[in-house]
C-alpha cells in the first residue's frame, strides 16, 4: 500500500461514509488527471475477489480495476503453464466468472 500511495500526485480526504459490510481500508487520490481508489483488506486473509466485490459496491462508478500483488492466474502444469512471482497475469471475465476467482493451488 505504501508503494501505491507514493505514486499519488495528490491524496484526497477520507471516504465520507462506507457501507456496513465493506471492511476494506481505502485511500482516495489522484494520479495525473485520474481519480483513483486504493483498497486494502482489513479482514486478514480476505480473498482478493471479496476486496474487489466490496470496492465495486462502495464505488459503483469505477471504470477500471487493477489488482496488484495478489498472485494471479491458475497454473496448469499439465499444459506447461507455470505462474511465478513477478509474472503479469491479465484476466478476461467470462460467464459465470467475473475475472477474479479464488484458487488455493490444491
Enclosing H/E stretch for 53:
helix 48-58
Residue 99 is assigned to a structural domain of this protein: no
The grid coordinates listed for 55 are: 470496492
Residue 30 is assigned to a structural domain of this protein: yes
The residues, ordered by sequence, that sit 6+ positions from 18 with a Cβ below 8 Å of its Cβ are 26, 58
Judge contact between 62 and 37, C-beta under 8 A.
Answer: yes
Splitting the chain (106 residues) into consecutive groups of 10 residues, what average pLDDT does each group show?
90 90 92 93 73 90 75 59 66 69 52
64-84 in b/e burial notation, b at 16+ Cβ within 10 A? eeebeeeebeeeeeeeeeebe
**pLDDT 10s digits, 3-30:** 889 999 999 988 888 999 898 999 999 9
For residue 22, the enclosing domain spans 2-79
Count of domains for the chain: 1
Indicate whether this model's pTM tops 0.75. no
What pLDDT, on the 0 to 100 scale, is given for residue 42? 78
Residue 92 is assigned to a structural domain of this protein: no
Amino acid at each position: 500500500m505504501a508503494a501505491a500511495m507514493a505514486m499519488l500526485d495528490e491524496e484526497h480526504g477520507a471516504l465520507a461514509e462506507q457501507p456496513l459490510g465493506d471492511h476494506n481500508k481505502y485511500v482516495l487520490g489522484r494520479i495525473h488527471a485520474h481519480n483513483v481508489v486504493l483498497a486494502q483488506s482489513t479482514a486478514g486473509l480476505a480473498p482478493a475477489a471479496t476486496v474487489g466485490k466490496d470496492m465495486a459496491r462502495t464505488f459503483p462508478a469505477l471504470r477500471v480495476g487493477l489488482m496488484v500483488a495478489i498472485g494471479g492466474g491458475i497454473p496448469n502444469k499439465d499444459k506447461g503453464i507455470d505462474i511465478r512471482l513477478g509474472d503479469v497475469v491479465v484476466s478476461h471475465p467470462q460467464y459465470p466468472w467475473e475475472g477474479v476467482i479464488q484458487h488455493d493451488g490444491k
